Amino acid sequence: MRIYIVRHGETDANKKGYAQGRTDDPLNKNGEILAGITGCGMKDIHFDCCISSPLIRARQTAEIILRESCNSVPISFDNRIKEMNFGSFEGTSIRDEKVVRFLKEPVIDYRFPDGESISDVMKRTQEFLKELISKDDGKTYLVSTHGCALRAMLNFLYEYPGDYWHGHVPYNCCVNVIEVKNGAATLIADDLIYYDQDMAIDRYKE
């Protein structure tokens, strides 16, 4: 069994440097291009199932990857893999003091006003992933999600789970691959990108 977990392509909020969270913005043109390149890079993979966050940027990413990789499976949706709810900080610049602190030194139990904490996101995303892993059905899954949700979901599989961001916020359309054998899950590909490295922009660096 293999699970391919991808972060959505770029949006205007990503490009402008805003905390997006649950704000339901679509991909921008560059986001569509990155998703298309990623799909072409995955054309030799046969997906049996696709599960996406219901937010439009994740759904569009899944649709483009499936189309460009010549897979025609339907997409199902799961609210547990939505992005973190930043509450009243949604739409705030990532240069805001509290957002900067969240990106540099994430506190697992810090809750944004009217939003979620990292521990909340870890609970729901890991419930989703562990439930999927437990199937161990020999199928190949595509999962389309978000940056913070992806890190929360994979945290228990990282060698150093205390480094929440795993070195950096995931690049748009990066792919992480989990292999499941006899019920045991191993991360075999980490933040893989199919496009040119020069296009992998870390907008969260100062």
| pLDDT tens digits along 29-49 | 999 999 999 999 999 999 999
Provide the domain count of the chain.
1
What pLDDT was estimated at residue 101? 84
Lookup: tokens for 156: 């228990």
* pLDDT of 206 strictly over 60: no
DSSP secondary structure string for all residues of 168-184? SPPPTT-EEEEEEETTE
What pLDDT was estimated at residue 47? 98
The predicted-structure confidence for 121-165, as pLDDT tens digits, reads as follows 999 999 999 999 999 999 999 999 999 999 999 999 999 999 999
Catalytic residue among 8, 10, 90, 116: 8
Catalytic residue among 10, 63, 68, 83: 83
Residue 63 falls inside a structural domain: yes
What pLDDT was estimated at residue 103? 85
| Residues in CB range of 198: below 8 A, 6 or more apart | none
Residue 206 falls inside a structural domain: no
What pLDDT was estimated at residue 199? 85
Residue 179 falls inside a structural domain: yes
Distance CA(194)–CA(61), nearest Å, equals 14
Distance CA(52)–CA(50), nearest Å, equals 7
What pLDDT was estimated at residue 205? 63
The predicted-structure confidence for 159-193, as pLDDT tens digits, reads as follows 999 999 999 999 999 999 999 999 999 999 999 99
Residue 93 falls inside a structural domain: no
The predicted-structure confidence for 65-114, as pLDDT tens digits, reads as follows 999 999 999 999 999 999 999 999 999 998 888 888 888 889 899 999 99
| CATH code, domain carrying 170 | 3.40.50.1240
Residue 173 falls inside a structural domain: yes
Residue 143 falls inside a structural domain: yes
Residue 116 falls inside a structural domain: no
Residue 102 falls inside a structural domain: no
What pLDDT was estimated at residue 102? 87
In angstroms, how far apart are the furthest CA atoms of the chain?
Answer: 46
Cα–Cα nearest to 21, from 109, 143, 114 = 114
Active site residue 127: no
Active site residue 83: yes
Q: What residues make up the domain containing 50?
A: 2-16+26-83+128-199
Q: Print burial letters for 174-193: b (CB count within 10 Å at least 16), e (below 16).
A: bbbbbebeeeebeeeebbbb
What pLDDT was estimated at residue 86? 95
What pLDDT was estimated at residue 202? 74
